[in-house]
Chain A
C-alpha cells in the first residue's frame, strides 16, 4: 500500500490542527506520566515496607513453640473401662523452649546449598527496671558477628557500636524507644529481671533504631553467652535459629526440604511471618493498577473523542478521497496513523514527565521523624514500568483510534457530496 502517501496525509492533518493534536497528545501524556509516578511510588513504598520488615525477619525461623499435648495420657488407659475422662484446662508440660543440639543443627543448615547463614540465638522476655516501674521487653542473645553479617545490625545503630557487644560480658544494645522508656543513655547501667525472677545489672553500650516502633520499643541484643548467663543455662542452650537464604523467594521451598531433615523442629518462613504485610502489599498493587488503568482509559476516551470530532470535521475530505479512488483500508490507515502518532508522542512525553516527577519525588525530604528510618519518599525506578506505560499507551491509542477510523471508512461519499 501507499505508505508514504498515507503518512503524508496523516501528518498534514495533524500539523494543520496543531492545537487539537497537542491536546489529544497531552491526554495521553497525562495518563502515562501519572501511571509512571503512581506505579514507581507505590512499588517504592511496597519495597521499602518489605525491606524494613525483612531487615529483621529471618527467611526461615526455627523455634520450639509452646505446644499442648492434645490428649491426656490417662485417655488411652481408660478405654477398657469405658469411663469418661474429662480433662479441662490442660496445662503444657514444663518443657524448655530449647532446640536440641541447636549449635550443631545451625552448623548443619549453614552448610546446605542456598543458605547464606544461620544465626543461633537465645531470646527471652525480661523486665527492665526503671525505678519502681518495670518495662517489658525482650533480649536476644546472638552470635554478634554473624548477626551483623546477615542482618547488618551495625548499620542500624544510632549510638555506640554493635561490636562493643563483644567487648566484655553483661553488655547490651537496646532499641531507641526502649531506651527512652527506660531513660538510659549509652554507658548507663540498667537492672533487669528475668522470667525466672533473677535480677541482673547490665551496661548499655549502644542504641539502635530499625524504624519499626514495635521493635525499637521492646527489643534489645546481647551476646549469646550474656543471655545464656541471664537465663542460667549452659552454652549449648539455643532457642531460635534464624536462617537467611541467598535468594529470599526460595525460603518456602527450602523449608519443606528442611522439614524432612528435622521433623521435630517448628519452622516458619518469612511469607507466613509477614502474611498481613504481604496481603497489604498485594492490595496496594491492585489499587495501583486499577487507578493507572483508569487514567489510561480516560486518556483513551480523550483520544477517541478528539479523533471522532476530527473525523466528523473531515467528512467532506473523506468523501473526496473515496470519490477519487482511495479504498477503505487506506482511509482507516490514515486515521489510525494519526492516532498512533498522537499516542506515541504522547506516551514518550509522558515517560519523560513521569520520570521527572518520580525523580523530584525521590529527592523530596520526607519528615518521618524517629519512627521510620527514611529521609526522602521511597520511589522505584524500574525499566519494566516504563515499558508497561508505553505499551499501555500504545494499545489504548490503537483501540481508541481504530473505532473512529472504521467509522471514517464507512462514510458514504454520495451522501456527503450531494449534500
Chain B
C-alpha cells in the first residue's frame, strides 16, 4: 500500500489569537483506498485539520504531501486546480448552488476540469446521481430539494471528477439512520471498487466504527490512531 496523503507536524493557530494553538503538531499518513474517520469532541480541531487537508486553508505550519506532491507554497490558483482534479468534498451543510439544477450542480466541477465533452459530462453526472439514487431529481432546482436529497447530490458532485481523495465534514450530520447507511455503503463501495480514499470528520459513532481506521483527536493532538 502506498501513502496518498501525508501530514507532518501540522500546527495551526488563528491570527486573532496566535498563542492558542488549535492543532499542536499533528502527523499521520493515509494509504490509498483507505476509509478513514476522524473523531473527537467539539473544538478538538478535527474540522480545522480537515480544512487544512482540503488545501483550502493554507495558513498553517508543517508539511503536507498529497499524491506524492509537496503542497506547501503552492498558489491559491494552483491549489484550486489540484482540488478540482484530485479532491472531492462533502460539506456539513450540503451547499449546492441554489440557482442550478441538481444535474448542473454535479456537472459544474467536471465542466471546469474540461476533460470531457459536455455531453459526456452529462452522462457521467447522471451515472453519479444514479449511484446516490437521485437520478429522478436531476432536473429539479437544487433549492427545491430536501436536506437529505441535497446531501446526496453533494456527494454525487464530490465524485464527478473521480477524485483520488474524498473529504467529508459530517456527511451524515443532517441525515436519518436510513440515509446515513446509504451514504456509508456508497463510500465503502468507492473504497473497495475504485480504490478511492475517503477521509471523514464525524460525530456519528456507528458510522466511524464501520470505517477502516479511526483517528481520535483531543485538544489539537491525535490521541489514538
Contacts and interface: CB of A to CB of B under 8 A. Distances in A.
A116 to B, nearest CB: 67
Nearest to A14: B99
B99 A324 contact: no
Interface in B67-106: 76-77, 80-85, 89, 91, 93, 95-100
Contacts of A316: 95
Contact of A324 (B84, B98, B114, B169): B84
A326 B95 contact: no
Nearest to B161: A325
Interface in A307-363: 316-317, 319-330
Size category, A interface: 20 to 34
B142 to A, nearest CB: 11
Nearest to A409: B76
Contact of A414 (B57, B95, B109): B57
A319 B76 CA distance: 13
Interface range on chain B (Cβ under 8 Å from partner): 20 to 34
A418 B47 contact: yes
Contacts of B28: none
Contacts of A2: 111-112, 114
B116 interface: no
Nearest to B154: A320
> Which of B80, B81, B84, B95 lies at the interface centre, i.e. has the most chain A CB atoms within 10 A of its CB?
B80
Nearest to B101: A12
A324 B157 contact: yes
B97 A322 contact: no
A322 B80 contact: yes
A13 interface: yes
Interface string A1-34: 0100100010011001000000000000000000
A325 B113 contact: yes
B81 to A, nearest CB: 6
A417 B83 contact: no
A325 B95 contact: no
B179 interface: no
A325 B83 CA distance: 5
B109 A324 contact: yes
Nearest to B105: A320
A327 B75 CA distance: 10
A419 B85 CA distance: 25
A327 B114 contact: no
B59 to A, nearest CB: 9
Contact of A13 (B80, B99, B157): B99
A413 interface: yes
A5 B89 CA distance: 21
A324 B89 contact: yes
A405 B157 CA distance: 25
B54 interface: yes
Given A5-B112, A12-B100, A323 B77 contact: no
B56 interface: yes
Contact of B80 (A319, A326, A418, A419): A326
Given A16-B99, A317-B97, A329-B77, A323 B54 contact: yes
Given A325-B83, A325-B84, A414-B51, A320 B56 contact: no
A413 B169 CA distance: 14
Interface in A403-419: 413-414, 417-419
B108 interface: yes
Contacts of B157: 324
Nearest to B78: A327
Give the interface centre of B81, B93, B99 by most chain A CB atoms within 10 Å. B99
Given A320-B95, A417-B95, A325 B111 contact: no
Query: Across chains A and B, which 8 residue pairs bring their CB atoms closest together, nearest first?
Result: A325-B84, A327-B77, A16-B99, A324-B109, A327-B80, A325-B83, A5-B111, A414-B57
Interface of B: 47, 51, 54, 56-57, 76-77, 80-85, 89, 91, 93, 95-100, 108-109, 111-114, 157, 169
Given A323-B89, A324-B84, 18 more contacts: A2-B111, A2-B112, A13-B99, A316-B95, A317-B97, A317-B99, A321-B108, A322-B56, A323-B54, A324-B109, A325-B80, A325-B85, A325-B109, A325-B113, A326-B112, A328-B77, A329-B77, A417-B95
Interface of A: 2, 5, 9, 12-13, 16, 316-317, 319-330, 413-414, 417-419
